[in-house]
Chain A
Amino acid sequence: MSDAAELSCKEAARLMSKRQDVALTNDEQENLKNHLYQCLSCRRFEQQLGFLRQLAQRYSKGGAATENEPT
């Protein structure tokens, strides 16, 4: 019997971060999926992590895309 480990948010967050750099193992993926299914805060964290990456990339290209100063 494979006892799917219940992840805490702390562990889930660590896995989501790790996933940005390397592939997770099957177990890790499965546990994370189960946790995300039932945890709204972690789903938000997942989105925000993705946004953070997008933000850093945009920043590396010079920041805000608007050519005209917003007034």
Chain B
Amino acid sequence: MADKKNINPPDRMAALFAEVESHRGYLVRFATAKLRDGDQAEEVVQEALLAALDGVGSFSGQSSLRTWLTSILKFKIIDFQRRVIAERAHFSQAPDEDDSADPEWMDRLFDDTGHWGQRLAEWSNPDDALQQKQFFEVFERCMDKLPKAAGRVFFQREVMGIETDEICKEEGISASNCWVMLHRARLALRECLDRNWFQGVKS
């Protein structure tokens, strides 16, 4: 007769939800430290918490709830980083424009004698820009605007740090072609950052 009644399942779940939720702040700080981006961190933590609640049955209680949540979060962060890299690597494979759309583009940067059409301005406080999230957003938008092949090659070379030889082989193009593409990408990015960031920074 003294059968101790379990707390009914919905209540138990609600309590667990609340407890899981109470670790959110810590998890966001953890993810932010790792990803260096508050918004991305929130997003990943959200994914991790949903996964945790989904799999709460597998929580053995042997480790603390926080440790368990953190281990899920770590997987989610790795996942997330892979996804971002993959998206970046393929963003430029959009089917439309390519380099041949505007072959004269590069020539217009220089005048008939091969000198810069416009004198290059000095970039002030570039180190400061590297501390700002908005600057990286501008950089992303600038990469998005590159011709698809140039964007892909630039990303592999400069962001992924892959050697030129390897990229050329993968792309099936000659080394000199590879350099031309990289050069175009760098020129275009320089222009884009100049226009969309540095010309507005005066100090």
A25, chain B: closest CB distance, angstroms: 14
CA distance A11 to B38 in the complex (A): 43
Chain B residues lying within 8 Å of A42, measured Cβ to Cβ, are 116, 120
CA distance A66 to B109 in the complex (A): 35
Chain A residue nearest to B189 (CB atoms) is A52
A59, chain B: closest CB distance, angstroms: 6
Q: Does B123 contact A (CB under 8 A)?
A: yes
User: A63 near B136 (CB under 8 angstroms)?
Assistant: yes
Question: How many B residues have CB within 8 A of the partner chain?
Answer: 46
User: B119 near A64 (CB under 8 angstroms)?
Assistant: no
User: B116 near A9 (CB under 8 angstroms)?
Assistant: yes
Q: Does B159 contact A (CB under 8 A)?
A: yes
Interface residue ranges of B154-203 to A (CB < 8 Å): 154, 157-161, 164, 178-179, 182-183, 186-187, 189-190, 193-194
Interface residue ranges of A1-58 to B (CB < 8 Å): 8-11, 13-14, 17-18, 20-22, 40-42, 44-45, 47-49, 51-58
User: A60 near B37 (CB under 8 angstroms)?
Assistant: no
Comparing B3-11, B57-65, B126-134, the segment that makes contact with chain A is: B126-134
CB < 8 Å neighbour of B122 from A21, A44, A55, A59: A44
Question: How many A residues have CB within 8 A of the partner chain?
Answer: 38
Chain A residue nearest to B194 (CB atoms) is A48
Check A10/B114 contact, CB under 8 A, given A21-B157, A59-B139, A67-B36. yes
Q: What does DSSP make chain A's interface, helix, strand, loop or mixed?
A: helix
User: B114 near A66 (CB under 8 angstroms)?
Assistant: no
CA distance A42 to B110 in the complex (A): 12
User: B139 near A18 (CB under 8 angstroms)?
Assistant: no
Chain A residues lying within 8 Å of B179, measured Cβ to Cβ, are 17-18, 21-22
CA distance A52 to B186 in the complex (A): 8
User: B123 near A47 (CB under 8 angstroms)?
Assistant: yes
Check A21/B114 contact, CB under 8 A, given A48-B190, A52-B158, A64-B136. no
Known: A52-B189, A57-B159. 6 other contacts (CB 8 A): A11-B114, A52-B193, A57-B161, A61-B36, A65-B131, A66-B133
State the B residues within 8 Å of A (CB). 32-38, 81, 85, 109-110, 113-116, 119-123, 126, 130-133, 135-136, 139-140, 154, 157-161, 164, 178-179, 182-183, 186-187, 189-190, 193-194
